[in-house]
Chains A and B, each alone.
Chain A
Amino acid sequence: MRGSFFKILILALIIASLGVLSIYSSTSQKEGMLWQEIYKRQLLWIMIGLVFFFLMSRFNYRKLWDANYFIYGAALFFLLLVFGLGVIRMGAQRWLKLAWFNFQPSEFAKLAMIIFLARYFSRKSIDDTSLSSGKFGIFQGIILPFIFVGMPMFLIIEQPDLGSGLMLMLIFVGLLYLTHVRLKYIFMLLAVLILPLPFFWHFLHDYQKQRLLVFLNPNIDPLGAGYTVIQSRIAIGSGGFFGRGWLRGSQSQLYFLPESHTDFIFATFSEQWGFLGSVLLILMYYLIIRQGFIIAQRTQDAFGRLLAYGISLLLTLQVFINIAMNLGLAPVVGLPLPMMSYGGSSVLITFVALGILVNIDRTRNVF
């Protein structure tokens, strides 16, 4: 039990420290106090995240079952609030301005959604380890949870934040797959989702359309939408095997790479630490995720199990999509790299999620 706690804590701390180093390197050449302060802010967030990590690892996750509707309601409420009074940055309305920081409710919504879905597909009784979904028909198994997922997803996509919106969808499909909902239903859901995509094309924002086109061929607009991907690929590629060394990455430090401390922090890291460093980083992410899966597999409680799966899945998807988009293998969607990218909400929620994960493992043995 202690094992998983320390494994996760240490891996998370290493990754977060590498994140701080990368943020420092990417902002060190920029002018202005604000830029110089950023890595300190990230450090502060990691501290806060650690506090929450310890708190959540002590906090019995079963209580989340009861708080479930409240959490779901809160997530919806924040998303609506963002819709009304969010701060607009870089063309998107994703942030809520709280006292001294900006809070991104979509990050919270992801975790809330996982808790909600875990609750939805499991039973109250701790002793009954079977899933309730085994007997679910198409309405209970697919349509009803889809409505619950659809509401926050719609709000997030409207922000617009296509990445986080699709993330909710993917987590939903992934968790459905892990419950006993029939495969037939899942495929039906996927068909319903994918078939009208050409139709939805018209509802996408221009910049989103462009990003997708650019993903197919970054060179159609080398100075516009394709710029980021091209620069990111150059940054990663120029790192070579051993990297250019810390603080020596010209792409990230000289600002050729936009968003080098947030969404494209992987490129920043990779330029400086090379193929070797990047593979080790990916390996560390994989170890955390594997730990999550191990925890899920040895948890008898259905709610805890689904929760652990969901959290692992969330991490997996975020890491995969972010790195893939850095490599130019996925379209550019605004998704942070968990624990590395600068951003309070993301760091905090990730540590909370890891805290829950550890707690599931801890509580499991109590029964």
Chain B
Amino acid sequence: MERKTVLSLIIILMFACLIIGLFNLGILQGAKFRRLSDSNCIRLIAQSGSRGNILDRNGEVIVDNKISYDVMILSQDLNNIDQALTLISRILGIGIVELRMAFKKNFISSSIPVTVAANIELKNAIILGEYKIEEPSIIVAPKPIRHYPYGALAAHVIGYVNEIDRWRLTKLEDYGYKTKDIVGFGGVEEKYDYYLRQEEGGLSVEVNHRGKFMRVLGFQPPRNGKDVVLTLDLKIQKIVEENLTGRKGSVILMDPFSGEILALANYPNFNPAVFVHKRTKLISGLFNDPDAPFLNRAIGSSYPPASVFKIVLASAGLELKKINPATSFVCQGSTMVGARRFSCWDEHGVQDLYQAIAHSCNVFFYKTGLLVGAQNIHDYALKLGLGRNVGSEMAGETSGFIPSPLWRKINKFQNWFDGDTANLSIGQGDCLITPLQATNMLAAFANRGSLLTPYIVKSVGGLDLSVKKKRFTGVPFKKNSFEVIAQGLAKVVSDAKGTGNVLSTLPIKVAGKTGTAQVPRGATHAWFVGFFPVDKPRYAICVFLENGGPGHAASLMTKQIIEAMNNQGLI
């Protein structure tokens, strides 16, 4: 072959090579390179809206948001991360080791900014902002975070916010939740997270090789979360919390006609702000606290109702016609049930129903209980909303427990004795109720006949929910039964020897029932449940003090609360 022919062939071969190379890149691997090209130049800049506020019934802010500043590092254009971290460390006064740890922990990919320090002071944010030119990889991003102007106020009702955990993420992924989303934990924050939650907006922008903004490809405006208006009254809630602080227990105030919870406080409580500021040590301290500060005692924990349960006995007795208002028993300090002596806490002498309620006479109710029978007591307790969930929207409710002969037979293979009936008659034994159930029961007497569904959220995003939330269940008692028992409850306070007589000095007439629950260990639990004013009830109240001593302690606290409310003109 001639040399020039060989050369021509070589040249054709060379060009064929080029075309094969082109084919490989553009056609065979085209899709891959197209993706790489897009990821080169398209960035998503998230813009977060702010989470909805939580307001009280009068529109006062309980929880809102404030702007915080996060320091983030965009590592893709950064050769020396340590250099940037050193600068941040110097300005913020945080150890570089800590920053490096935070960087490693939060790192996702080099094109996504990594938060190394969250929630820094405004002053530092401004200083760092001035390094924008020298260190463009350090980003100071404003971000709305939860702000709790009243600290721990109503913490159990509200709950807290934190980064989504794995369990919630798997459940909520389909609803558009993502890793590292801030979601509500507990209380209204969790229950209404879907509404409170802000919608992340963002810009999709085209950037050049330096990450410099070129043009906007698309924009989705962020949307703020919807405001949630609670039924709580901030003023009452404050009074309640002030009085409860330092005492283990819970206090509930409820509107006895609508079921709106006006105040709900538990102690020990927690400050939700610790989650916003990521105070790890404080948080783990709270979780490990044996006093369980996260427990919403008002609904999530049940206790022996003790004398509070006598209201059930009175209702059952009257309804079943085993007793009438004129029925009286003689209290000699104790009575024999079978072979066992059941004692009263005092020697009351002749007691009719009103007196028995007022003096909380055990003997009267032992005898009533034995007349009525255990199964009936159980049934009437359930009719008054005990032993089952009240159906409040708050998460973590327990149903409490009302024993019955049948239950004992089936589950414990034991027989029920009269002694057990006597024990149940004064709310001891296996019987357990929650403070909210007690409140709800008293509300039925305050409104003379309706069992309510307590609720805590009045409206969401301007949409009034109270119509839907207001649900009554008629309690099929005779009108007279309610009247008689309500009078008895009024006597608890007004009677000179009434167990709640301490409340009689108040300018407002209060009706209620005290309770002193025996517990296996420690001091007794103190109860006071009631409603006021007696003539035109506006509030149902429950004060429960865990290991708080005799019912008198609860009555005292009730007095202080009502006094303060009266002083502020809330009644």
Question: Is B27 located at the chain interface by the 8 A CB criterion?
Answer: yes
Q: Let me know if A297 and B23 touch, CB within 8 A.
A: no
Q: Let me know if B25 and A282 touch, CB within 8 A.
A: no
Question: Is B3 located at the chain interface by the 8 A CB criterion?
Answer: yes
Interchain nearest-CB distance for B15 vs A (Å): 5
Provide the bound-state CA to CA distance between A251 and B22, in Å: 17
Question: Is A6 located at the chain interface by the 8 A CB criterion?
Answer: no
Interchain nearest-CB distance for B454 vs A (Å): 59
Question: Is B34 located at the chain interface by the 8 A CB criterion?
Answer: yes
Question: Is B336 located at the chain interface by the 8 A CB criterion?
Answer: no
- What is the 8 Å Cβ interface bit string for chain A, positions 322-345, against chain B (1 contact, 0 not)? 011001110000000000000000
Question: Is B207 located at the chain interface by the 8 A CB criterion?
Answer: yes
Q: Let me know if B206 and A270 touch, CB within 8 A.
A: no
Question: Is A217 located at the chain interface by the 8 A CB criterion?
Answer: no
Question: Is A274 located at the chain interface by the 8 A CB criterion?
Answer: yes
B37 cross-chain contacts in A, Cβ below 8 A: 234-235, 237-238, 250-251, 271
Question: Is A136 located at the chain interface by the 8 A CB criterion?
Answer: no
Q: Let me know if A289 and B27 touch, CB within 8 A.
A: no
A329 cross-chain contacts in B, Cβ below 8 A: 17-18, 21
Q: Let me know if A233 and B33 touch, CB within 8 A.
A: yes
Question: Is B32 located at the chain interface by the 8 A CB criterion?
Answer: yes
Q: Let me know if B36 and A234 touch, CB within 8 A.
A: yes
Q: Let me know if B26 and A239 touch, CB within 8 A.
A: yes
Q: Let me know if A233 and B25 touch, CB within 8 A.
A: yes
Q: Let me know if B26 and A293 touch, CB within 8 A.
A: no
Contact partner of A275 (CB less than 8 A), chosen from B8, B11, B27, B206, is: B27
Q: Let me know if B33 and A234 touch, CB within 8 A.
A: yes
**CB contact under 8 A between A324 and B15, given known A238-B34, A293-B8:** no
Provide the bound-state CA to CA distance between A286 and B18, in Å: 11
Provide the bound-state CA to CA distance between A144 and B302, in Å: 108
Question: Is B412 located at the chain interface by the 8 A CB criterion?
Answer: no
A328 cross-chain contacts in B, Cβ below 8 A: 21
Question: Is A174 located at the chain interface by the 8 A CB criterion?
Answer: yes
Question: Is A240 located at the chain interface by the 8 A CB criterion?
Answer: yes
- What is the 8 Å Cβ interface bit string for chain A, positions 263-285, against chain B (1 contact, 0 not)? 00000001100110011001001
Q: Let me know if A236 and B7 touch, CB within 8 A.
A: no
A233 cross-chain contacts in B, Cβ below 8 A: 25, 33
- What is the 8 Å Cβ interface bit string for chain B, positions 179-216, against chain A (1 contact, 0 not)? 00000000000000000000000000011111000100
Interchain nearest-CB distance for A314 vs B (Å): 12
Q: Let me know if A282 and B32 touch, CB within 8 A.
A: no
Q: Let me know if A320 and B27 touch, CB within 8 A.
A: no
A251 cross-chain contacts in B, Cβ below 8 A: 37, 40-41
Within 8 A of B (CB), among A155-184: 174, 177-178
Q: Let me know if B22 and A236 touch, CB within 8 A.
A: yes
Contact partner of B3 (CB less than 8 A), chosen from A177, A239, A241, A316, is: A177
Q: Let me know if A324 and B17 touch, CB within 8 A.
A: yes
Question: Is A255 located at the chain interface by the 8 A CB criterion?
Answer: yes
**CB contact under 8 A between A275 and B33, given known A177-B7, A256-B41, A289-B11:** no
A296 cross-chain contacts in B, Cβ below 8 A: 4
A240 cross-chain contacts in B, Cβ below 8 A: 26-27, 30-31, 34
Which of A237, A251, A327 has the most CB atoms of chain B within a 10 A radius of its CB?
A: A237
Contact partner of B206 (CB less than 8 A), chosen from A236, A237, A250, A282, is: A250
Interchain nearest-CB distance for A222 vs B (Å): 11
A250 cross-chain contacts in B, Cβ below 8 A: 37-38, 40-41, 206
B11 cross-chain contacts in A, Cβ below 8 A: 286, 289, 293, 316
- What is the 8 Å Cβ interface bit string for chain B, positions 34-58, against chain A (1 contact, 0 not)? 1011101100000000000000000
Q: Let me know if A297 and B30 touch, CB within 8 A.
A: no
Which of B4, B18, B34 has the most CB atoms of chain A within a 10 A radius of its CB?
A: B18
Contact partner of B23 (CB less than 8 A), chosen from A238, A275, A320, A323, is: A275
Interchain nearest-CB distance for A189 vs B (Å): 16
A side interface size, CB within 8 A: 41
Question: Is B19 located at the chain interface by the 8 A CB criterion?
Answer: yes
Contact partner of A254 (CB less than 8 A), chosen from B4, B33, B207, is: B207
Interface of B, helix, strand, loop or mixed by DSSP: helix
Interchain nearest-CB distance for B26 vs A (Å): 4
Q: Let me know if B26 and A236 touch, CB within 8 A.
A: yes
Provide the bound-state CA to CA distance between A324 and B26, in Å: 14
Question: Is A60 located at the chain interface by the 8 A CB criterion?
Answer: no
Question: Is B519 located at the chain interface by the 8 A CB criterion?
Answer: no
Question: Is B14 located at the chain interface by the 8 A CB criterion?
Answer: yes
Contact partner of A256 (CB less than 8 A), chosen from B8, B32, B33, B208, is: B208
Provide the bound-state CA to CA distance between A282 and B25, in Å: 15
**Chain B minimum-CB-distance residue to A242:** B26
Question: Is B220 located at the chain interface by the 8 A CB criterion?
Answer: no
**CB contact under 8 A between A178 and B3, given known A254-B207, A279-B22:** yes
Question: Is B414 located at the chain interface by the 8 A CB criterion?
Answer: no
B32 cross-chain contacts in A, Cβ below 8 A: 237
Question: Is A29 located at the chain interface by the 8 A CB criterion?
Answer: yes
Question: Is B83 located at the chain interface by the 8 A CB criterion?
Answer: no
Question: Is B375 located at the chain interface by the 8 A CB criterion?
Answer: no
Provide the bound-state CA to CA distance between A239 and B27, in Å: 9
Q: Let me know if A238 and B36 touch, CB within 8 A.
A: yes
Interchain nearest-CB distance for A110 vs B (Å): 18
**Chain A minimum-CB-distance residue to B23:** A275
Q: Let me know if A254 and B26 touch, CB within 8 A.
A: no
B568 cross-chain contacts in A, Cβ below 8 A: none
Interchain nearest-CB distance for A2 vs B (Å): 24
Contact partner of B18 (CB less than 8 A), chosen from A235, A297, A323, is: A323
Interchain nearest-CB distance for A240 vs B (Å): 4
Q: Let me know if B18 and A324 touch, CB within 8 A.
A: yes
Provide the bound-state CA to CA distance between A231 and B34, in Å: 11
**CB contact under 8 A between A241 and B18, given known A177-B7, A234-B36, A256-B209:** no
A293 cross-chain contacts in B, Cβ below 8 A: 4, 8, 11
Within 8 A of A (CB), among B338-387: none
B207 cross-chain contacts in A, Cβ below 8 A: 254
Interchain nearest-CB distance for A190 vs B (Å): 15
A271 cross-chain contacts in B, Cβ below 8 A: 37
Contact partner of A320 (CB less than 8 A), chosen from B15, B206, B209, is: B15
Provide the bound-state CA to CA distance between A255 and B33, in Å: 16
A279 cross-chain contacts in B, Cβ below 8 A: 19, 22
**Chain B minimum-CB-distance residue to A327:** B21
Interchain nearest-CB distance for B21 vs A (Å): 4
B8 cross-chain contacts in A, Cβ below 8 A: 293
B23 cross-chain contacts in A, Cβ below 8 A: 275
B31 cross-chain contacts in A, Cβ below 8 A: 240
Question: Is B29 located at the chain interface by the 8 A CB criterion?
Answer: yes
Interchain nearest-CB distance for B440 vs A (Å): 64
**CB contact under 8 A between A241 and B22, given known A177-B7, A254-B41, A256-B208:** no
Provide the bound-state CA to CA distance between A236 and B209, in Å: 17
A255 cross-chain contacts in B, Cβ below 8 A: 208-210
**Chain A minimum-CB-distance residue to B25:** A237
Within 8 A of B (CB), among A199-256: 231, 233-241, 250-251, 254-256
B209 cross-chain contacts in A, Cβ below 8 A: 254-256
Interchain nearest-CB distance for A9 vs B (Å): 22
**Chain B minimum-CB-distance residue to A271:** B37
**Chain B minimum-CB-distance residue to A293:** B8
A274 cross-chain contacts in B, Cβ below 8 A: 26
17 pairs, CB–CB < 8 Å, chain A vs chain B:
A177-B7, A237-B25, A237-B30, A237-B32, A240-B30, A250-B37, A250-B38, A250-B40, A254-B40, A254-B207, A255-B210, A275-B30, A278-B26, A289-B11, A313-B7, A323-B18, A329-B18
The 9 closest A-B pairs by CB, nearest first: A237-B33, A238-B37, A275-B26, A327-B21, A254-B208, A237-B25, A240-B30, A250-B41, A238-B34
Extra 17 A-B pairs, beta carbons < 8 Å, given A239-B30, A309-B4, A329-B17 = A177-B3, A178-B3, A236-B33, A237-B32, A237-B37, A240-B30, A250-B41, A251-B37, A251-B41, A254-B207, A275-B27, A275-B30, A282-B15, A293-B8, A293-B11, A320-B15, A327-B21
Listed in ascending order, the chain B residues whose CB lies under 8 Å from chain A are: 3-4, 7-8, 11-12, 14-15, 17-19, 21-23, 25-27, 29-34, 36-38, 40-41, 206-210, 214
